Structure 1
Amino acid sequence: MAGDEARTARAVGAAAAAGRQLGLEVREPRVLYDVFSVVVHLAPSPVVVRVPTVLPASYTLRPEAQLAQQRAELAVTGWLADHGHPVVPPSPLVPREPVVQEGFSMTFWQLVEEVPVPEPDTTARLAMTAKLHAVLADYTDENLGFWAPFATYVPDGLTALESLPDLLPAADLDRARREWSTVEPIVSSRDAFEREFPGVAIQAIHGDAPFHNMITTPAGEYWADFELVTLGPVESDVALAGPDGVATYDEAATRLGLRASDPRVLRLVEAAGSLATVACLAMAPQLPMLVGAVEPALAQWRSTPLFTGP
């Protein structure tokens, strides 16, 4: 069995074992998705388990950081579900806590019926992103960190890439480090961010392009995949949506009484997002398809001027 196939089999076995220990009926576990995580339906129970298997260095070096982020995800999605908002909710059949089993830290979700669509309605989803921000403006959690995924993900990834010159040339790594030296002081400190951008509110955000992370169900579009949920500016959720996408979001936000996006903040979060893409190459030894998948984004990054500040 190939390494990735063995990893998937171990993840499925761990999910099934954890489900049974929690009292679920598990007869035919079925893989729904397998890239960074193995997503398993514990049939016949209406429960889906997400088992992260390809991890950034920030989680392999600090397992407690992964657990904290998973708890944050379960808390915010549970809050959204409890308040009647359209979100894929944690499973009501088990406690809202990550479960560690056989070396994997996993989360349990309610099975929802997904309706295949040929092409998602990006305009509608960007409007839904504004609605999500309006809702999350009322969410408070003292354990939710400021831009938590960025703080260690990028520097740990860049450090790992030092020993992987076949994945990222030295010139690219040097550029990434120089840009990160400009980005890092602002994205790793809420006080520094607020000094740089007075009047730009910080709130709970999805953290990972929510307009790409939605599921179409018979009841409509559901928000999903809050793995990078954090405190931050709303611009972080629309970074790299393109000028038309940002304009669509701004129009929807204004209708809801929210502020339009700030161009300077957008420049910062897009630079941070590009560096996160560079850093993710450090996971390519675990997931070789990443090399080809991120190359268009890397080419775009290389073609832009060096980021020297917002």
Structure 2
Amino acid sequence: MTAKDAAVAAGRDLGLDVTEGKVLYELFSVVVHLVPSPVVARVPTVLPHTTTPADLARRQQQELDVAQWLHEQGTPVIPPSPLVPREPVQWDGFSMTFWPFTEEDEDSVPDYVRNSELTADLHKALQAYPGKLDFLSSAEPRFVREGLELLESRPDLVDPADVARAKREWLVLEPLVSDETEFLKAFPGIDLQPVHGDSPPANIFAGVNGPLFSDFELITRGPVEWDLGGLGLELQAAYDRGAIKNGLRTLDKNVLRFVNAVGAIRVIAYLSCADQLPAMVEFMQPFINQWRDTEPYQA
């Protein structure tokens, strides 16, 4: 059974009127419109080998909870669908969540400068989130370490010299993403809070009634820089403008250097999942090329 078929079957089992599943997006997840119901299912399909079904369900529940909470506070988000219970659903080996079908502004052109500035609005709203979140869980340190080890035997996917450098850097970085105390020792004075976890400037949906924050599946607790990694000076400056407007601190250059290094090595580690999605090898190559041109990370 495919992810689309599983979404259709699960939707029908929940009592939705579903005549067909229309795939709206497919990369690391498959997003399926359950036609004619005003509901879409999001089904993760490319998962690290360290992610258990229980891990995935817990992460999905956190996403549903934070999206619902933000919606209730008046933050512009895509909330969970009100037509089904607010919980992940397992079907034939897939775990999925359900969201309202939201009409997209087809004439909209992605504006990452605006989106970066809007991210400060999201951070302001998230400061009051009452749910418990783990420190930098979206860094997935165990997966990165084991993924790099797997890649040592896959020179067809990653140059062995790149893997060797990544492993050296990860020895320095892993303690900082695994232990909040170690992070705070390295970056004294940096406050931690709930953050989106997966580059919100790239995950703002262009709705017909305005931009909507979406895709909170990597929601975590950490420095705000975690959400701005790899975005460059122009977008960082845009975020800083939004931060000042919201009474938040501006981005710290040392923490940005840290999150950029972690992000680059996570990209490399994810190539250990290439058998699940072969297209990611070509997709991620520009990020690896950019990383090669940077200085190795040192504490």
- Residue pairs, 1:176-191, within 5 angstroms: 176-191=166-181
- For residue 159 of structure 1, report the CA deviation from its aligned partner: 2.6
Aligned residue for 1:47?
Answer: 39
Amino acid at match of 2:137: A
Query: What SS does the aligned partner of 1:78 have?
Result: helix
Aligned residue for 2:9?
Answer: 17
Amino acid at match of 2:157: L
Aligned residue for 2:114?
Answer: 124
**Alignment CA distance shift 1:102-1:162 (3 Å):** same
Residue 186 (structure 2) pairs with residue 196 (structure 1)? yes
Residue 70 (structure 2) pairs with residue 76 (structure 1)? no
Aligned residue for 1:261?
Answer: 251
Structure 2 gaps, min length 5 = none
Aligned residue for 2:261?
Answer: 271
Query: What SS does the aligned partner of 1:58 have?
Result: coil
8 Å Cα contact 1:160/1:282 also seen in 2: yes
- For residue 295 of structure 1, report the CA deviation from its aligned partner: 0.8
- Quote the Cα distance in structure 1 between the aligned partners of 2:199 and 2:94: 25
Instruction: Give 2:85's match in structure 1, choosing from 87, 95, 100.
Output: 95
Amino acid at match of 2:26: D
8 Å Cα contact 2:108/2:206 also seen in 1: no
Cα deviation 1:58-110 (Å, max 9, x = unaligned): 22xx2222111111111111111122211111111111111110000111111
- Quote the Cα distance in structure 2 between the aligned partners of 1:64 and 1:154: 19
Amino acid at match of 1:139: Y
Aligned residue for 2:28?
Answer: 36
Aligned residue for 2:270?
Answer: 280
Cα deviation 1:5-33 (Å, max 9, x = unaligned): xxxx6111111111111111111211111
Q: Greater shift after overlay, 32-41 or 118-127? A: 118-127
Aligned residue for 2:161?
Answer: 171
8 Å Cα contact 2:192/2:223 also seen in 1: yes
Cα deviation 1:30-72 (Å, max 9, x = unaligned): 111111111111111111001111212222xx22221111111
Query: What SS does the aligned partner of 2:201 have?
Result: coil
- Quote the Cα distance in structure 2 between the aligned partners of 1:86 and 1:114: 14
Residue 147 (structure 2) pairs with residue 147 (structure 1)? no
Q: Greater shift after overlay, 100-109 or 285-294? A: 285-294
- For residue 140 of structure 1, report the CA deviation from its aligned partner: 2.3
- For residue 118 of structure 1, report the CA deviation from its aligned partner: 5.3
Aligned residue for 2:289?
Answer: 299
Task: Give the 4+ runs in structure 1 shifted more than 4 A.
Answer: none
Amino acid at match of 1:45: S
Aligned residue for 1:6?
Answer: none
Aligned residue for 2:49?
Answer: 57
8 Å Cα contact 1:140/1:204 also seen in 2: no
**Amino-acid identity (%):** 48
Amino acid at match of 1:116: E
**Equivalences, count:** 298
Instruction: Give 1:158's match in structure 2, choosing from 135, 148, 152.
Output: 148
Aligned residue for 2:102?
Answer: 112
- For residue 267 of structure 1, report the CA deviation from its aligned partner: 0.6
Task: Name the Cα RMSD after superposition.
Answer: 1.3
- Structure 1 length normalisation: TM-score? 0.93
Query: What SS does the aligned partner of 2:20 have?
Result: strand
**Alignment CA distance shift 1:156-1:27 (3 Å):** same
Structure 1 gaps, min length 5 = 1-8
Aligned residue for 2:57?
Answer: 67
- Quote the Cα distance in structure 2 between the aligned partners of 1:92 and 1:274: 37
- Quote the Cα distance in structure 1 between the aligned partners of 2:26 and 2:245: 38
8 Å Cα contact 2:126/2:193 also seen in 1: yes
- Quote the Cα distance in structure 1 between the aligned partners of 2:28 and 2:97: 14
8 Å Cα contact 1:117/1:216 also seen in 2: no
- Structure 2 length normalisation: TM-score? 0.96
Q: Greater shift after overlay, 109-118 or 10-19? A: 109-118
8 Å Cα contact 1:87/1:223 also seen in 2: yes
8 Å Cα contact 2:229/2:263 also seen in 1: yes
- Quote the Cα distance in structure 2 between the aligned partners of 1:220 and 1:212: 15
- For residue 169 of structure 1, report the CA deviation from its aligned partner: 2.1
- Quote the Cα distance in structure 2 between the aligned partners of 1:72 and 1:161: 31
